[in-house]
Structure 1
Amino acid sequence: MFQNQTFTSRYFNGVSAVPEEGTVLVHGQTIQFTSFDTHHKLTISQFAEFSQTHKGCKLILLPDERKESPILEIFCTKEETKLLEKIWIQNKKSQSHASALFYSIREMNPIVLGILSLLIVTIVGFFYFKGLEFVTNFIPLSMDKSLGDSVELKMEAQFQKCDTKATDRFFSEALKKIVPKDSKHKFEISVLSSTIPNAFALSNGKIYFFSGLLNDADSQEEVIGVLAHEIAHVEKRHHMRNLVKAGGTSLAISLVVGPGLGNMEFLETFTEIGSTILVLKFSRDFETEADKSSIEYLKSQNMSTDGLLRFFKRMEKLEKGESDSEDNEEVSNAKDEKSTTNQITDFLSTHPATTERMKTLESLIQKGKKGTIKKVVSDSIWKEVQTACLDFKNSDSK
């Protein structure tokens, strides 16, 4: 506590830009400023803000709506500044319980405060994003269909469909076996002409297979495994859950950072997210959930569960440039086509063939009984399925 200690000081009265030079006498909770022609007697409680400066400290009086708040600058050592701040904080803490909490936090070590703040943000963020999962339960399935329908139009304008009687028969039989009996979704499958070995689903239940996946598949099991995986994405509403999470994240950032809410930019951002999120690469958690669900669908129908794993193994080889294909020209054409449609297909890929994911699949397949049914159509129909779009390409090139 200061007892009649004097410091060099200056006082800004909030009206003139020229400060009054003088001295300050600090005694307990009282501060007396004296200049050549002015005398101010103030108490610590009158100061709203306290900050350290390179020459001492600066105290700001309670704000005045009619003029600038008066400021008192005191020139002193760092130790004296810290003692003055301590007196000021103790005074503020005695004013109310909320003030006591706020200024107790202010007194904390910056490192400890940083760790505590990070912990609080992490906990709040965890429950916030967990809460977003429940929001989807209140969104009707009609929204999934509407959003999927809008994207379906865009996709079919970009790619040529080449469905055949064989592909229709194959996927019709496969859907009968894989789709859960209590499903609320209506599924429809189309084949798109592209050498890219991939597939993706829209939120309205429309599933697209690139012909490259059918042409390169080693067996019906592979295609059935991929189909089960895409059905799981729709059944688990991953598109809508992704949209809610993305929108929730955008909203949280807007609330924290500030811009966007006042001029409706947030709604524009949300709309932009919605137009792409429907076929966006899913998160690791959603992919794992789809993998687990697909295995459950297949096992419940006594169908083979090895196909999806074999598909990923083949994709891994392709990614590493170790494809078993001997037709180098075809592989080159596939790469060229992928580069030309890169803007569309980059975000359509829902099958990152990672080692970790294949290990998860292996553990899922090993649990419980393995399915025995490996075919849904005859070998002759399957051969026609595998040549999907090839006849279309040949006739197109003539």
Structure 2
Amino acid sequence: MFQNQTFTSRYFDGVSAVPEEGTVLVHGQTIDFSSAETAHKLNVSQFAEFTLTHKGCKLVLRPDESKESPVLEIICSKSDAKQFESLWIQSKKNQSHAHAFFYSIREMNPIVLGGLSIVIVAIIGFFYFKGLELVTNLIPVSMDKSLGESVQMKMDAQFQECNTKATDRFFSEALKKIVPKGSPHQFKVSVIGSTIPNAFALSNGKIYFFSGLLNDAKSQEEVIGVLAHEVAHIEKRHHMRNLVKAGGTSLAISLVVGPGLGNMEFLETFTEIGSTILVLKFSRDFETEADVTSIEYLRNQNLSPSGLLTFFKRMQELEKESMESEDNPPDANAKDDEVVTKSLTDFLSTHPATEERMKTLASLIESGKKGTIKKVVSDKTWKDVQSVCLDFKNSDSK
């Protein structure tokens, strides 16, 4: 590799801060260092570390933290430094199979190595998060109930329900048709007096409907479609799965970044952002799964699945109206309502875009059996359902 070439070099003995100036001559795996006062014969494999420098390369004899290690600096061109590195790597590869594997990776092209690293991390990440799904199966459903009950206590203390006999009858009949047989959950629906056209579910089977959704609904099947969606969230254990994945994501990032970040605040921020993005993605996946599952529930009872699609069409119209009115300053009452709306519906940012969900639902409805439009309750009872909480809201606004 080096035929009778000598290179200017400096040797630090690990004791004195003043280096010995001299030259090196390479014979196979042996490096001969000579100076005016001393001579050292060193084997390439003896050096624990090799580093390329702007003047050539540097070889560290041993990784000893207790005292300074002897260091040999060789002044040479970049091409010669690369040859020194290849010689050093080859000597390390000959020591053991583990060294051969590790130093073969070091020899790889940085671009190829980077691409390979991304692929390996992606594969590990895929199986890691798939494993988290299996972890959820080991958690008993009783934990879902406990989790939901703790949230329900806060909800019931903060908001006033305005259920009526009509709403109790409607949702009771609807749940009998939607909930799959053998479900381990006990479902119950409560209505909250609010103009927000929305609904959400807790992991213990408690479902909350905002009266605005009932008041503005165009048909029974629209509300039934939303109810089926919320039942699907509970049956698919989305609350617990999201909790497990969120915890798993935080753990994985913490293991990669490592403890003891010190003043490296940007890494902590990166960890938080990474966790947030992934958790939001999980929520979007769950929303899509709930949409698909709700269609299955409705078709199993030969009910029309188009109600949920109708609901999203109305939501899309409301979104457009909201965007158009953003520049108009709200009055005091509207502003208060806006604050309540925001505090209760921030979680909607985790949902897929309305347009995206409508396309998915339209495709599912088109590809399967249509089902029939069935009335769960009589027109009179439905009219009572749609007028629920109106008195409550009127008195609340005075």
- TM-score higher than 0.5: yes
The alpha carbon displacement at 1:394 in A equals 2.1
Q: How does 1:177-326 map to 2 (within 5 A)?
A: 177-259=177-259, 283-321=283-321
Q: Distance in 1 between matches of 2:85 and 2:161?
A: 74
Q: Distance in 1 between matches of 2:50 and 2:281?
A: 50
RMSD: 3.0
Verify: 1:45 aligned to 2:42, yes or no: no
Q: Report the counterpart of residue 393 of structure 2 in structure 1.
A: 393
User: Does structure 1 retain, via aligned residues, the 8 Å contact 2:50–2:58?
Assistant: yes
Q: How does 1:126-137 map to 2 (within 5 A)?
A: 126-137=126-137
Instruction: Flag the 1:132–1:54 CA change in 2: closer, same or farther, 3 A.
Output: same
SS for the counterpart of 2:285 is helix
User: Does structure 2 retain, via aligned residues, the 8 Å contact 1:5–1:27?
Assistant: no
Q: Report the counterpart of residue 366 of structure 1 in structure 2.
A: 366
Q: Distance in 1 between matches of 2:351 and 2:332?
A: 21
Q: Distance in 2 between matches of 1:153 and 1:217?
A: 28
Q: Report the counterpart of residue 269 of structure 2 in structure 1.
A: none
Verify: 1:87 aligned to 2:93, yes or no: no
Instruction: Flag the 1:260–1:11 CA change in 2: closer, same or farther, 3 A.
Output: closer
User: Does structure 1 retain, via aligned residues, the 8 Å contact 2:283–2:350?
Assistant: no
Q: How does 1:43-122 map to 2 (within 5 A)?
A: 43-64=43-64, 66-122=66-122
The alpha carbon displacement at 1:288 in A equals 2.1
Normalising by the residue count of structure 2, what TM-score does the alignment of the two structures yield? 0.88
Q: Report the counterpart of residue 8 of structure 1 in structure 2.
A: 8
Instruction: Flag the 1:315–1:127 CA change in 2: closer, same or farther, 3 A.
Output: same
One-letter code aligned to 2:48: A
Q: Distance in 2 between matches of 1:198 and 1:280?
A: 19
SS for the counterpart of 2:374 is coil
The alpha carbon displacement at 1:333 in A equals 5.6
Instruction: Flag the 1:147–1:331 CA change in 2: closer, same or farther, 3 A.
Output: farther
SS for the counterpart of 2:259 is coil
One-letter code aligned to 1:91: S
One-letter code aligned to 2:162: C
Q: Distance in 2 between matches of 1:252 and 1:120?
A: 15
One-letter code aligned to 2:317: K
The alpha carbon displacement at 1:160 in A equals 2.3
Instruction: Flag the 1:220–1:248 CA change in 2: closer, same or farther, 3 A.
Output: same
Q: Distance in 2 between matches of 1:35 and 1:95?
A: 30
Q: Distance in 2 between matches of 1:298 and 1:330?
A: 40
Q: Distance in 1 between matches of 2:128 and 2:331?
A: 46
Q: Distance in 2 between matches of 1:203 and 1:190?
A: 14
Q: Distance in 2 between matches of 1:391 and 1:188?
A: 23
Instruction: Flag the 1:73–1:337 CA change in 2: closer, same or farther, 3 A.
Output: same
112-121 vs 332-341, which moves further: 332-341
The alpha carbon displacement at 1:339 in A equals 3.1
What 5-or-longer segments of structure 1 have no aligned partner? Answer: 262-271
The alpha carbon displacement at 1:156 in A equals 2.6
The alpha carbon displacement at 1:28 in A equals 1.7
One-letter code aligned to 1:158: Q
Instruction: Flag the 1:281–1:62 CA change in 2: closer, same or farther, 3 A.
Output: closer
Normalising by the residue count of structure 1, what TM-score does the alignment of the two structures yield? 0.88
The alpha carbon displacement at 1:281 in A equals 8.6
Instruction: Flag the 1:282–1:33 CA change in 2: closer, same or farther, 3 A.
Output: closer
User: Does structure 1 retain, via aligned residues, the 8 Å contact 2:283–2:351?
Assistant: no
SS for the counterpart of 1:346 is helix
The alpha carbon displacement at 1:300 in A equals 1.3
The alpha carbon displacement at 1:210 in A equals 1.0
Instruction: Flag the 1:136–1:300 CA change in 2: closer, same or farther, 3 A.
Output: same
User: Does structure 2 retain, via aligned residues, the 8 Å contact 1:3–1:28?
Assistant: no
One-letter code aligned to 2:361: L
Q: How does 1:156-167 map to 2 (within 5 A)?
A: 156-167=156-167
User: Does structure 1 retain, via aligned residues, the 8 Å contact 2:56–2:78?
Assistant: yes
Q: Report the counterpart of residue 171 of structure 1 in structure 2.
A: 171
